[in-house]
């Protein structure tokens, strides 16, 4: 955190000026024992609806925050990007989600593909939601990225078939990204797992008329591919 910058805390509740909000036990523990925020200190609170508020922490019998005022509004990112991220090992998947949220993704769809990492997906899902919250707090985000249900690759392709967004699957066999790919305001990106999509999966994706685009000659880790692809589309 930058010097003199207030901590940002996600509150899963309606927030209004002059209201007093009770903190759940996890949030209380995080701000008091992890962040070590002192009693009567100011923080920034938000609930993912695009607004944020100045509030004061009160440690009493029940920990609360007193909302003082709404912060000045900021310009809203006009990009709308959905990342369909194939499930990888914990380290790589966590990093892909974290960095996608920091960049400003709108929605993340976990995808089960042939080379996806196995595991307890329901347990992973809860962990991924926490990563989204903490990454939004850290990165100064105003909106909470939506975490969609976990889907098999073909089920996802069927669901997206009538979606009019620009659909891109990133794979080293694909063509080079062009300026025409960047002109769209709404994109759906499909990122493979460690080891990439299989040849049969690429043929399946092509049958659903997705654009197959490469990210250069180097072989990128799945989390790196997600970061590079989003950065190119946003054209910072």
* Residues 65 and 109 both lie in one domain: no
Q: Are residues 87 and 194 in the same domain?
A: yes
Largest CA distance in the chain: 61
Into how many domains does the chain fold? 2
Specify whether the CB–CB gap between 124 and 87 falls below 8 A: yes
DSSP state of 118: P
Choosing from 52, 70, 88, the residue where a domain stops is 70
Q: Are residues 102 and 192 in the same domain?
A: yes
Quick check: is 213 in a domain? yes
Indicate if 225 and 118 belong to the same structural domain: yes
Specify the CATH number for the domain of residue 15: 2.40.240.20
Residue 1 lies in a domain: no
Same-domain check for residues 61 and 162 = no
Q: Is there a single domain that holds both residue 102 and residue 205?
A: yes
Helix (H, G, I), strand (E, B) or coil at 19: coil
The pLDDT of residue 217: 81
Each of the 236 residues of the chain gets a pLDDT tens digit; together they read: 443 489 999 999 999 999 999 998 889 888 998 999 999 999 999 999 889 999 999 998 778 889 998 886 666 666 789 999 999 999 999 999 999 999 999 999 999 999 998 888 888 999 999 999 999 999 999 999 999 999 999 999 999 999 989 999 998 888 988 888 888 889 999 999 988 999 999 999 999 999 999 888 888 888 998 888 888 887 64
Q: How far apart are CA 140 and CA 8, in angstroms?
A: 8
Can you list the positions of beta strands (E) in the chain? Answer: 8-10, 20-22, 42-46, 52-58, 64-70, 80-86, 107-112, 146-147, 151-152, 166-176, 186-191, 211-214
Q: Is 179 found in the same domain as 110?
A: yes
Whether 85 and 58 map to the same domain: the answer is no
How far is the C-alpha of 113 from the C-alpha of 200, rounded, in Å?
Answer: 11
**What local confidence, expressed as pLDDT, does residue 75 receive?**
65
Range of the domain at 202: 80-234
**Rg, the chain, Cα only:** 20
The predicted structure's pLDDT at residue 134: 95
21 and 56 share one domain: yes
- Output phi, psi for 81, to 5 deg: -125, 125
Q: Tell whether 89 and 204 lie within a shared domain.
A: yes
Question: What is the C-alpha separation between 6 and 1, in angstroms, rounded?
Answer: 8
Shared domain for 54 and 144, answered yes or no, is no
Note the pLDDT of residue 72: 66
Query: Tell me, what CATH number does 202's domain have?
Result: 3.40.1280.10
Instruction: Note whether 124 and 204 are same-domain residues.
Output: yes
Residue 136 domain-assigned?
A: yes
In a domain, 75, yes or no: no
Q: Residue 236 has what pLDDT?
A: 46
The predicted pLDDT at position 2 comes to: 44
Choosing from 70, 95, 113, the residue where a domain stops is 70
On whether residue 3 sits in a domain, the answer given is no
For residue 42, tell me if it sits in a domain.
yes
Residue 73: predicted pLDDT: 67
């Amino acid at each position: 955190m930058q010097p003199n910058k207030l901590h940002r805390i996600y509150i899963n509740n309606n927030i209004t000026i002059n209201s007093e909000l009770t903190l759940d036990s996890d949030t209380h523990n995080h701000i008091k024992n992890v962040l070590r925020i002192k009693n009567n200190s100011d923080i920034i609170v938000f609930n993912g609806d695009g607004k944020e508020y100045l509030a004061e922490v009160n440690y009493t019998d029940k920990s609360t925050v007193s909302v003082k005022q709404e912060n000045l509004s900021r310009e809203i990112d006009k990009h709308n990007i959905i990342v369909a991220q194939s499930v990888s090992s914990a380290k790589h998947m966590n990093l892909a989600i974290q960095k996608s949220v920091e960049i400003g993704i709108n929605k993340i769809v976990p995808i089960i593909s042939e080379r996806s990492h196995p595991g307890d997906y329901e347990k992973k899902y809860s962990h991924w939601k926490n990563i989204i919250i903490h990454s939004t707090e850290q990165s100064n985000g105003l909106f909470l990225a939506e975490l969609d249900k976990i889907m098999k690759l073909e089920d996802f392709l069927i669901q997206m078939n009538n979606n009019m967004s620009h659909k891109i699957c990133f794979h080293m066999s694909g063509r080079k990204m062009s300026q025409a790919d960047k002109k769209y305001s709404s994109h759906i990106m499909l990122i493979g797992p460690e080891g990439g999509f299989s040849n049969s999966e690429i043929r399946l994706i092509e049958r659903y008329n997705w654009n197959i685009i490469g990210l250069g000659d180097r072989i990128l880790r799945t989390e790196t591919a997600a970061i590079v692809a989003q950065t190119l589309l946003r054209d910072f």
